[in-house]
Amino acid sequence: MGFFTVAGAFFGLDVEVYMVKVSYHQKPYRRAFMESYGAKVIASPSNETESGRKILQEYPNSTGSLGIAISEAVEMAVQDAETKYALGSVLNHVLLHQTVIGIETLAQLEMASDYPDIIVGCTGGGSNFAGIAFPFMGAKLRGEKQDIKFVAVEPAACPTLTKGKYAYDFGDTAHLTPMVKMHTLGSTFIPTGIHAGGLRYHGMAPLLSHIVELGLVEPKAYGQLDCFAAGLSFARAEGILPAPEANHAVKGAIDEALRCKEEGVSKTILFNLCGHGHFDMQAYMDYQAGLLVDLEYSSEEIGMALAGLPAVG
């Protein structure tokens, strides 16, 4: 899940991982797993970069964001010719790499002599949803297959598609990356510390943003309480405990199934269970202890976040 960014030599021990500070503390097992292979995991924002120090000077208790972590990793990478930087999720080429998921699913459904009427995926930067949906979207646009409903589910606490603006913006907080046209909440937007860290990003991939603008995808936003409830229902029915991010897709699929039941129609629903929750047990413990809350942003708060969008002529 994309709550960290990486700079370093991937096949040696010289790897630095800038992990969003709230995830650094929420997900200690993920941090320990990376450290077991020799990675140096740094809570972002940190004092190791100029962009991190600038954030901490203004907001000493900042919980961090993916935008800040990207800024820190990019800053470290450009200072060393031997250092490479890997960015995932929100760039179009990453979405295309991920479509191997949907291509394999097409083959599996052909073996089962079935085809989806509805496709559901969780969305943070866009690669997970695009990975499962884009091969089917291509077939739909070419007129090769039946019509499909596409549902992109995001957290209400980071409503990029449902409340963000379709505009040019930077992919990181320090504005070290190029501007792209996407749905965005503003590059300085700091989401609240929900446990679905991989969905806490201010922007959405340009390709996915474009097809949402065209009306080809229906975006939905859910609170984390409903998503964890859906995840537990899935675990008790299927024996797989989903990651907090994947719970959003589970919730979306359950809602579509209930809608079909109410309408008395039979539909094939496909969703992407993109990760297990074995490293996220603290999140489930907090949920079952009643410690989690739902958070949403008002129009005024969203407006303030969008006020700093770059002016593009």
- Both tokens of residue 263? 């309408």
5 φ, ψ to 5°? Answer: -130, 155
Query: Is 8 in contact with 14 (CB distance < 8 Å)?
Result: yes
- Both tokens of residue 28? 């200690």
Q: Rounded to whole angstroms, how far apart are CA atoms 134 and 272? A: 12
Instruction: Look at residue 312 and tell me if it is in a domain.
Output: no
pLDDT tens-place string over residues 162-212: 999 999 999 999 999 889 999 999 999 998 889 999 999 999 999 999 999
Instruction: Look at residue 125 and tell me if it is in a domain.
Output: yes
Query: Is 84 in contact with 9 (CB distance < 8 Å)?
Result: yes
pLDDT tens-place string over residues 99-138: 999 999 999 999 999 999 999 999 999 999 999 999 999 9
What's the whole-number average pLDDT of the chain?
91
Residue ranges making up the domain that contains 114: 92-306
Q: Report pLDDT for 117.
A: 97
Residues 52 and 158 in one domain: no
Instruction: Look at residue 138 and tell me if it is in a domain.
Output: yes
Instruction: Look at residue 158 and tell me if it is in a domain.
Output: yes
Q: Report pLDDT for 9.
A: 43
Residue type present at position 27: K
Whether the pLDDT of residue 89 is over 90: the answer is no
Whether the pLDDT of residue 4 is over 60: the answer is no
Residues 30 and 149 in one domain: no
Q: What is the mean pLDDT of residues 75-90?
A: 82
Residues 67 and 108 in one domain: no
3-state class of 23 per DSSP?
helix
Decide which of 68, 86, 104 is a domain's last residue.
Answer: 86
